[in-house]
Amino acid sequence: MKQLTLNISDNKYHTFLEFIKTPDYVQVPEADEQSLVELQNSFNQVKLMQEGKIEKQNAQEFIDEL
């Protein structure tokens, strides 16, 4: 079996996922949807921090949030 990695726009992700599940020869492993959403949000925050669009958090502030 071959594996393919694709980058899909956030606003088209769910539509594409439903479409790609339709052929019987494609296997899409089920994942915890909420975890995936939270992970994507985290990646987006890191990207915004790197671009200087949002303020970075110091380690103590991060620990205090936990």
pLDDT per position as a tens digit, 41-51: 888 998 999 99
Domain locations along the chain = 10-65
The tokens for 21 are 């599940």
What's the mean pLDDT in 3-19?
87
- Look over the chain and give the mean of its residue pLDDT values, rounded to a whole number: 85
Task: Return d(Cα 56, Cα 50) in angstroms, integer.
Answer: 9
Q: Sign of the CA dihedral 45, 46, 52, 55?
A: positive
Nearest to 13, CA basis, from 35, 33, 42, 43: 33
pLDDT value at residue 32:
67
The tokens for 23 are 């052929």
The tokens for 4 are 């393919």
